[in-house]
Structure 1
Amino acid sequence: MVDLETTKHEAKSTIYRDDNHAPVTSVLPDGDIPISDHALSADESVLAALGYKQEFKREFSLWTTFCVSFAVLGLLPSFASTMYYGMGYAGTGGMVWGWLIAMVFIQCVAMSMAELCSAMPTSGGLYYAAAVLAPPGYGPLAAWITGWSNWIGQVTSAPSVDYALAAMILAAGSISNPDYVPTDYQVYLLTVLILIIHTAISSMPTKWVANFNSWGSTFNILALIIAIITIPAGTSNVPKFTPASQVWSTILNGTDYPDGVAILMSFVGVIWTMSGYDSPFHLSEECSNANIASPRAITLTSATGGLFGWFLQLVVAYTVTDIDAVMNSDLGQPWASYLLQVLPQKTAMAILAITIVCGFSMGQGCMVAASRVTYAYARDDCFPYSNIWKQVNPHTKTPVNAVIINGILGILMCLLIFGGSVSIGALFSIGAIAQFVAFAIPIAIRVFIVGNRFRRGPWHLGKFSKPVGAMGASFVLLMVPILCLPSGTGADLTPDLMNWTCLVYGAPMLAVMVWWVVDARKWFKGPKVNVEHMLYGREDEETQKSDVIDGVLPVGAEERPTLEGKADESEKVVDGSS
């Protein structure tokens, strides 16, 4: 005679305890098994344990996921867009040393994030992780802060990239026709056009988007290699290269602060450039073998981007001859000015052209990643009118409404162009600070609060997990105030030189916190579970003890989440104790 309780436990083990795809952080109380009209795949089982039904097609692989995140990184256009911060703040010495120093800590952040992704591969990403890992009762607040900060960083990424792209296109026009001087109105209209195109492409079916980004990322890699080889080979400088002793030791301080602070301030370019490696986290619900492939894509993106980015820094540092002329050129685009300074005009235009193509691919990747974040947060009713933004288009199987609202918000944000270069430049600083604050919150909770109770996934750092996470979180804590510093002080600090990041990022975050205190804390309870399930009842003490894996008690094993209301069992909520 078959033992019913044994059968139930084995069924649950089959769905949730597969050796190769074990969901390490389940929000389902013991005994919950999702009802499905088909046998759950390994990825569907993992997602069900996290509390969500499979709604997207899993047509992303490790390679195509890496392609999206590398496209979001967009090393060549990113460097072209942020030369003002690296070279302008600290000169060649700050560029080469600053990138190396920053990359050590950025890699720590990336690897710690990859651990979280392996444990919780859902499009909610860091927001979901913060809710699950936070102490009981604080999950909704941790998710609220993390989610809004991450969303602000994501939603500003495509507009900032597309603005820089428009500026490069018009700078190319100025090179061809020296009498042509782009106006703010023309820059804005071109930026809007690019945003509309990116919105349309991001609304296509998943497979089309994946293929587009695959080709775009491949071109990004080839273009970067071409630039790294062509610039030193084709330079018209005499002598060709600046002596190494001068390159590595010259700190051309463009701020009113000591050299050390100036180097730290130059990190904004590195941080903004390297802030796209979280994209695989947000695409994990569309990726096969997500709890292994997605964290691998995160670390591969960060490591590859860091290495090739440093090579590009070296090339520019060894070939630039007049930093002041590059920074203050009438072209209004330092990268175009630099290329004209060191290369013949035709070669410079060719490099600028491939940078523009890369920038288009990068903006597209940013739009895709941002739309998935908007969808994930709307799914948990974070936004006004969330019922609209969380809809998945029945034909494309993509969150088209989320893409459209991001495109509209981007068009509105680009009105900062009419406030001058410093105003629109705030979008770059916002992207850096907002993303890294969101990255650091769940990592810090995992390292300093959860500790050894963290239930890791199949991809993890082992004994190095806590030290690496602590280094990453500490780096972010140091950089947040640094990223808000203006380049001038005292009498040199004028409104047009003020760093408006603290206002443009701080004001929305302050409004969000006020909203939390006044109203949101009453109804927002964190990520919502939307799986259909049936309750078998709590397991006995011996079964709960079997949840201990390798001697480590999983987070939440001692206190499973409760139903917020029995009337609708498909709307269960994580309250930070899972």
Structure 2
Amino acid sequence: MPEAHEQIHEHHPHLTADEAHLARLGYKQELNRSWSGFSNFAISFSIISILAGCFTNFGAGFNNGGPISISWSWPILGVFILIIGFTMSELVSAYPTSGGIYWWASKLGGPAAGFFTGWLNLIGLVAVTAGVSYGCATFIDLTISTYSDSFAADYSLTRVFVIFMIVLVLASVLNIFSGHLMAIMNNISVWWHVAGALGIVLVLVFVPDQHQSFSYVFTERFNNSGYADGSTTNLMFWFAIVPFGFLLTQYTITGFDACAHLSEETASASTEAAKGIWRSIFYSLVAGYILLLAVVFAIPNTPDGAPDNAGVGGGGVAYIFVQSLGTNWATFVLFISAAAQFFCATACMTSASRMTFAFSRDGAIPGSSILQKLTKARVPANAVVFVGIAAAIVTVPALIEVNVGTPEAPLVIPVAFYAVTSIAVIGLYLAFAIPIWLRWRHGSSFEVGSWNNGSKYRWMNPLAVAEIVIVTIYLMMPSLPGGNPFSEADFEWKFVNYAPIVTLGTLLLLAIWWQASAKHWFTGPKHTIDQAVVEAFDS
């Protein structure tokens, strides 16, 4: 492969090494290649955002297993996710295109594989943009509510949804303004996350009057799921309840495919985008684990001296911050997190819009001719607007209040938010699994790039796919008894985890579309290099 790049560069000296590599893959350089390797790493680190996923989905882990579901599940799952990252780093090194995941699948498995992979990836990216933006809105509301009692008194899901829409609009406007601005924002975001996470950890270590014991953090378990009568000793607890909490880790450490989607805007992409993927995962895993442990150690006690598991189960991290740190420190911590989540939402919009642009460039989305257009600043503005609208639509069910407690002791569960984040995880990781599996099937015939796993792909790739399939199955299950359709007495639609309905329903529609029409005209990535060669000679 390097020899081929050199031949293109030799015949067309006006093309840089990155443009020559892109030319060999069939594309001309349309996007502005102004991102450094650090900026490429920064966008995935920003999308992973330990100050977003760790906090917004804390309740999913805590209520489904207790402290052990955080202290043990995070590092164990983290190892598997890092392996997934290594397999994807190898792929982006060989094929550094904005299409990323679906381009790899098309190259390795043909048009059908690319078509379904692309749609899964797009569904996941829209959902993760929606989930992060809604989480950001929630934390903005919590920050203001913690500071102002009068604001807190008027709380409503409608108010949070309005803030969510404002976040989406701001993220869209910033993305439309300039692609280079996004690179700068992501560079700032990295240091905000690093300094912010360190600051929060220090506050959680030194400000609270008391901390929980090591025994509590690493051995305490309980079951607030509503299943198995709260049992923590039967097989269901270990093989169903605790896995429900996997959403915390799997959702937080996702979106790292952004390194691939921004590879056409990154210098030395074959090497830098590959490093960006695994480094963003590794550093996020380490920093996120320290942050989560600090939060669990800071859990407050009830007046009788026992850990306040019920209060934390209902109030999440905001309850921990207020009870353990007091109003002022809690407001400070919540502000740091809310700002980080806005950086994250903006980065998610960037990644999703680039995927939309690339998929539209190949004619796979209705209205592709509109969505692939670039502004004078070489930004896919129409794709940004499309992602924003789709993210708003998928989050509408968040307006429905789901109280699994009583009027005297309400316990409001963000079922819709967990469903949106589950859709993000399912869509993104299933999209990852397809090219990872296809690369394994190609074996030694696969043309590796400058960064590769050598012979380790033989065990890495099937292990990565197995982890994705297992976690996906758990995230499609009803996490609340009231959402179980086989439990007629307790079943209500508001409790339903609509993640499988959206993902499987969309896949069914796509399958019908593919058989009826798409397979006759979708041939995979379209080449645009001919015009680029002409332009190179003319210049």
Q: TM-score, normalised by structure 1?
A: 0.82
2:127 corresponds to: 156
Letter in 1 for 2:330: A
Helix, strand or coil: the match of 2:65? helix
Shift of 1:258: 2.0
Render the CA deviation track for 1:126-163: whole Å, top value 9, x for unaligned.
100001111xxxx1110011100000010122221111
Tell me whether 1:278 sits opposite 2:257 in the alignment: yes
User: Secondary structure in 2 aligned to 1:187?
Assistant: helix
Aligned with 2:29 (options 50, 54, 61): 54
Once residues 381 and 284 of structure 2 are traced to their aligned partners in structure 1, the CA distance between those partners, rounded to angstroms, is 29
Give the one of 501, 505, 521 matched to 2:499: 501
Paired position in structure 1 for 2:377 = 396
Question: Aligned letter for 1:481?
Answer: I
Unpaired segments of 5 or more residues in structure 1?
1-11, 19-32, 536-578
Tell me which residue corresponds to 2:232.
Answer: none
| Cα gap change, 1:221 to 1:81, in 2 (>3 Å) | same
Match of 2:141 among 158, 170, 182: 170
Q: Does 1:442 align with 2:435?
A: yes
Contact 1:486-1:498 at 8 Å conserved across structures: yes
Equivalent residues of 2:105, 2:434 under 8 A apart: yes
Aligned to 2:100: 125
Checking the alignment, whether the CA contact within 8 Å between 1:371 and 1:403 is kept in structure 2 is yes
Instruction: Give the count of matched residue pairs.
Output: 497
Q: Which moved more, 1:422-431 or 1:281-290?
A: 422-431
Distance 1:140 1:54 in 2: 23
Matched, 1:475 2:450: no
Superposed displacement of residue 474, structure 1: 0.8
In structure 2, the residue matched to 1:4 is: none
Matched-pair contact (CA < 8 Å) for 1:91–1:252 = yes
Q: What CA distance in whole angstroms lies between the structure 2 residues aligned with 1:425 and 1:245?
A: 29
**C-alpha contact 1:254 1:262 (8 A) present in aligned 2:** no
Distance in 2 between residues matched to 1:336 and 1:327, nearest whole Å:
11
**Is it true that 1:43 corresponds to 2:36 in the alignment?**
no
Give the Cα separation in 1 of the matches to 2:293 and 2:198.
Answer: 13
Say if 1:426 and 1:504, in contact at 8 Å, map to a contact too: no
Cα pair 2:9 2:15 within 8 Å, conserved:
no
Give the CA deviation at 1:494.
4.0
Matches within 5 A, 1:357-372: 357-372=339-354
Aligned-pair CA distance for 1:38: 5.6
Question: Which range moves more in the overlay, 289-298 or 505-514?
Answer: 505-514
- What amino acid maps onto 1:175 in structure 2? T
Give CA-to-partner distance per residue, 1:462-499, whole Å, 9 cap, x none: 12122111211110111111111122444555433322
Shift of 1:318: 1.9
Query: What is the identity, as a one-letter code, of the residue corresponding to 1:501?
Result: A
Mapping 1:275-424, distance limit 5 Å? 275-320=254-299, 321-329=307-315, 334-393=316-375, 395-420=376-401, 421-424=414-417
Q: String of CA shifts for 1:46-75, please: whole Å, max 9, x gaps.
A: 000111000112111111111111111111
Tell me which residue corresponds to 2:407: none
Aligned partners of 2:182 and 2:347 also within 8 Å: no
Q: SS at the partner of 2:373?
A: coil
Q: CA deviation at 1:109?
A: 0.6
Confirm or deny: 8 A CA contact 1:217 1:361 kept in the other structure: no
Distance 1:263-1:233 versus aligned 2 partners, 3 A rule: same
The CA deviation string for residues 513-532 of structure 1, in whole angstroms up to 9 with x for no partner, is 11111111111111111110
1:104-253 equivalences under 5 Å are 104-134=79-109, 139-179=110-150, 180-236=153-209, 240-253=210-223
Contact 1:223 1:354 in 2 (8 A): yes
**Equivalent position of 2:303 in the other structure:** none
Distance 1:251 1:211 in 2: 43
Matched residue, 1:541: none
Cα deviation for residue 37 of structure 1 reads 7.6
How far apart, CA to CA, are the structure 1 residues paired with 2:179 and 2:396? 31
Distance 1:430 1:534 in 2: 38
Give deviations 1:222-260, integer Å, cap 9, x for gaps: 101111221121113xxx222212221122123323223
Change (3 A) 1:114 1:310: same
Whether the 8 Å contact between 1:96 and 1:248 is mirrored in structure 2 is yes
Q: Which has the higher helix share?
A: 2
Structure 1 residue 217, shift from structure 2 partner: 2.2
Larger mean CA deviation between 213-222 and 290-299 belongs to 213-222
Residue 52 of structure 2 aligns with an amino acid whose one-letter code is P
Q: Distance in 2 between matches of 1:311 and 1:89?
A: 20
**Which structure has the greater CA radius of gyration?**
1
